[in-house]
Structures are given as structure tokens and as C-alpha cells.
């Protein structure tokens, strides 16, 4: 019997570890999990190299699930809510006349939704090339792009993989809401998508209340991400 997906892609670091931890609870065979860099700018090149390594070469009709955390763009969706993407848009979409909105694979999306049922809602993800830290900007972006949540990888992954015939589904958990600001950590991101320890620490220290809220929300989101991985593939 074929597995739900042939591979899971998760941003390297705590999100990747959470998904692996959830799958490691299970006594059944689970899909391989691969870490990906944070941010769209380096993701496409990474995925090119990943495919060249032959990770999907044995699957004539490959299916991939992107998992991780996201931010809410609506006051309706709070920290801990999980979302299965129906489609994905990009903050740069207006520059790509034919790429305003990309649909996730309908069949895979439906399967994930049916398995998780009331644990998730179905929505539209917005992909940004930077971390959105302002609550007011989140609400504005949600209204402008008719999106429910924001991430930094979804659109690039969907655009590249679906263009090659890979069925893509997306499952994320909200770790920061649209009611409060989070620390501005823009300077903490390295060009390769990794986080730099010192700028990250300074960004958190400068805004202690927002930092506490971010850490708390991330920890809660990671726990739920772990549980969802375990429940989805058991």
C-alpha cells in the first residue's frame, strides 16, 4: 500500500525536529523527512539539487507534503490553529502575471483534510520574502491578498515542484497571531536562509515582551506540529 506522501519537506531546525519527533513515535513505516532552508530566495536552488539527488526518482507520480509553522493574517485564527493550504499566493505575485495564485494538489489536500478533520481548517497561504513582524501589516496583507496565514517558503516550493508534475500539499501551524507584534528579526537572517545567533539574540533582547510571546507561540506551535505529524501518518 502506498504511503500518503513520498516525502515531507520541513524548514531546518526546530520545525524539522518536531516533525521527526512526531513520526518517531510511530511503529509503522513513515515517509522520509527532508530539511529545507528558510526563505524563498534559496529554496528553488535547494530543491533543484534535492531532485537531482534522486529522492523522488522511484515515484512516477510523486507526492510531497510541506509542513511547518506560519503566522496568522486574521484575527479569526489564533496561535495553535493548524491550516491545510488550499492555495498559495506571493507578495511578489503582481510582478508575475501568470502566477497570482497557485493551487495545491486537490486530491492530496482533501486526503490530509479528511484525516485531520476538525484539527485543521482549510485556507490560503501568503508567502513573503521577509519576516512579517507587525500585527497591523499582517492584517493589511491578509486583506490585500485574501490570505489567511503567511510563510516564507510555500509559494516557491509549490511553483517549482508542481511545475515538474509533483503533487504538493501544505500543512502548517500558526505560531504568531495577528493581534500582537513579534520582534523584528530581519537582520538575523543570513543570505542562505539560516539564522545568525548574535543578531537573533539582540533582536529578542531589544523587545522582551514581544520575544516572550514569540517563543511561547513557537513552542506551542511546535508541539502541535509534532502531534499532527504523528496523527497524520499513524
pLDDT per residue as tens digits for the range 156-207: 999 999 999 999 999 999 999 999 887 766 665 555 556 556 555 565 667 7
The yes-or-no verdict on residue 93 having pLDDT over 70 is no
Among 16-20, 32-36, 200-204, the range scoring the smallest mean pLDDT is 200-204
Q: Is the pLDDT of residue 97 over 50?
A: no
Give the domain range for residue 216.
Answer: 7-233
Number of structural domains, the chain?
1
What is the 3-class SS of the chain, one letter each residue?
A: CCCCCCEEEEECCHHHHHHHHHHHCCCCCCCCEEEECCCCCCHHHHHHHHHHCCCCCCCCCCEEEEEEEEEECCCCCCCCCEEEEEEEEECCHHHCCCCCCEECCHHHHHHHHHHHHHHEEEEEEEECCCCCCCHHHHHHHHHHHCCCEEECCHHHHHHHHHCCCCEEEEEEEEEECCCCCCCCCHHHECCCCCECHHHHHHHHHHCHHHHHHHHHHHHHHHHHHHHHHHHHHC
Chain segment 44-64, per-residue pLDDT in tens: 999 999 999 999 988 889 999
Percent of the chain with pLDDT over 90: 72
Q: What is the pTM of this model?
A: 0.90
Note whether residue 1 is domain-resident: no
pLDDT of residue 98: 42
Q: In this prediction, what percent of the chain has a pLDDT beyond 70? A: 86
**Per-residue pLDDT, 59:** 85
* pLDDT of 133 higher than 80: yes
CATH code of the domain in which 89 resides: 3.40.50.1580
Per the domain annotation, does 2 fall within a domain? no
Residue 179 in any domain: the answer is yes
pLDDT at 88: 97
Q: Is the predicted pLDDT of residue 124 greater than 50, yes or no?
A: yes
Residue 182 lies in a domain: yes
Amino acid at each position: 500500500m502506498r504511503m500518503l506522501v513520498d516525502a515531507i519537506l520541513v524548514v531546518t531546525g526546530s520545525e524539522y525536529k518536531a516533525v521527526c519527533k512526531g513520526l518517531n513515535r510511530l511503529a509503522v513505516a513513515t515517509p522520509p523527512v527532508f530539511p529545507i532552508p528558510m526563505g524563498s530566495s534559496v529554496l528553488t536552488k535547494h530543491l533543484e539539487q534535492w531532485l537531482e539527488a534522486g529522492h523522488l526518482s522511484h515515484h512516477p507520480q510523486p507526492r510531497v507534503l510541506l509542513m511547518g509553522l506560519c503566522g496568522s493574517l486574521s484575527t479569526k485564527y489564533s496561535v495553535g490553529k493548524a491550516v491545510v493550504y488550499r492555495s498559495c499566493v506571493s507578495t511578489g505575485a503582481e510582478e508575475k502575471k501568470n502566477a497570482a495564485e497557485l493551487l495545491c494538489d486537490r486530491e492530496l489536500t482533501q486526503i490530509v483534510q479528511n484525516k485531520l478533520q476538525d484539527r485543521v481548517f482549510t485556507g490560503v497561504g501568503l508567502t513573503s520574502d521577509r519576516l512579517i513582524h507587525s500585527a497591523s501589516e499582517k492584517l493589511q496583507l491578509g486583506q490585500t491578498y485574501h490570505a489567511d496565514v503567511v510563510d516564507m517558503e510555500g509559494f516557491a516550493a509549490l511553483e517549482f515542484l508542481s511545475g515538474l508534475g509533483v503533487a504538493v500539499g501544505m500543512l502548517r501551524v500558526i505560531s504568531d497571531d495577528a493581534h500582537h507584534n513579534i520582534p523584528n528579526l530581519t537582520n538575523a537572517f543570513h543570505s542562505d536562509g539560516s539564522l545568525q545567533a548574535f543578531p537573533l539574540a539582540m533582536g529578542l533582547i531589544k523587545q522582551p515582551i514581544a520575544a516572550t510571546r514569540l517563543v511561547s507561540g513557537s513552542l506551542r506551535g511546535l508541539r502541535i506540529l509534532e502531534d499532527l505529524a504523528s496523527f497524520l501518518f499513524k
